Structure 1
C-alpha cells in the first residue's frame, strides 16, 4: 500500500483541547478514532502526513481579519494534539494557513515524490478544511477517501451534508472499520 497516504488535517490543540481558542467537543470525540486509524496505517506502512494549521506570530494574515485569532506560532495552539504522536523520522508535518492542505503548501509535491495515488483524509472541520482538501485532491487526480467517524465540525447536520456531497461527487466516504477491511484485503492498491 505504498501508493496510499494518511492526511491528518488540523488536529491541533486550539481545535482539540478544551482550553483551545476554537475548540469544539466533536474534535475531542474523534481523536481516539483518528488514533486507531493512525496506528493501523502505520502497521500497513502507509505514509503519514500531518497538516498543521499555523499562523505566523505578529504577522498579518487575511484569514484572521474575519475570524477569532487561533493557531498562532509560539502559543502552543498550533501544536499537533499529543494523542496523535508524530514519528519525526517518517511522518511529514506540513504547515498551512488556508482551508485546503494543498493551497500554498508542498503537499502535492510530497505526495508525488512518494508515488501516492490514494489519500485517506481525517480531521477537522468537515465543511471547511476537510472539504477543501478533498476537493483539491480530487482536482489533482488523487483518490480521496474520507473516514466518516474521523471527521467533525461543530454541527452534525453540516457534517453529514458535506460527507454526502463528498461521497456523491469527490471520493469515497467509509467508516474506520470499512477502511481497515479495505487495508486487510489490499483494496487500496
Structure 2
C-alpha cells in the first residue's frame, strides 16, 4: 500500500532496541551480524538526524530486565536458552549493569530524544509507559525502526495497529538476527498491519 502524505498527522519515531546489546559486537549478548549491525545503526543515525530537523519527536524503547528469572518466566525463551537458536543468549541479555543497556551513541541525542526503558517482551507497549508517552503528546502515527524485524518490530506494529495508531515501518532502518525472516516479516506487516517504506519516502511524506 502506498504511503500517504503525513500532513495533518502527528508522527513520532519509535526506535526499538537500538542498544549495544544487539548492535555493538564487542558487548552484544544477542548480536546482529557485524555488517548488519553497522548498516542499521548508520541508517538510523541518518534518518533520526533528518526527523529531528523536522521537529518530529523521537522515542527510544530499550529492553531491560531486573533478573534472569524475569526473562525465564517466558516458557519459549527458557526452552531456547543455550541451544543453537539465534536467541540462545536470552538469559544473559540486558541484565542490570550490562553495557548492552546503553543506546548506540550514533542514534541518541540526549537533549532531544525521549527514552522508555523496562521493555520486557517483544511488544514495546507491554508493561511500559509508551502508550502514555504517545497519547499525552497527541501523537498518532508511529515511524518504527530498530531490531528485530521479525520479533519486536513485528509485535510492536501489530500492537500499534490494534491501538489505532498508524504504524509505518521504515524499511532500511530495521534489521534482524534472523536474516531469512526479515522480508517475511515485512510482508506480513504490509498485508495486514501497516505501511512499509524506505526512509527517503517517509521523509518526503513528512
TM-score by length of 1: 0.90
Superposed, 1:164-183 pairs within 5 Å as 164-183=187-206
1:22 and 2:45 correspond: no
1:91 and 2:113 correspond: yes
1:25-80: CA deviation from partner (whole Å, max 9, x where unpaired): 22332111111111111011111100101111466432463432111121211111
Contact 1:4 1:116 (8 Å CA) reproduced: yes
Superposed, 1:1-189 pairs within 5 Å as 3-19=10-26, 20-25=28-33, 26-57=36-67, 60-61=70-71, 62-63=73-74, 65-66=78-79, 67=81, 68=89, 69-87=92-110, 89-95=111-117, 96-183=119-206
The aligned length equals: 182
1:179 deviates by 1.0
RMSD between aligned residues: 1.7
Contact 2:170 2:196 (8 Å CA) reproduced: yes
Q: In 1, Cα distance between the equivalents of 2:159 and 2:68?
A: 29
Structure 1 consecutive aligned stretches of length 4 or more whose deviation exceeds 4 Å: none
1:82 deviates by 1.3
Q: In 2, Cα distance between the equivalents of 1:60 and 1:160?
A: 31
TM-score by length of 2: 0.83
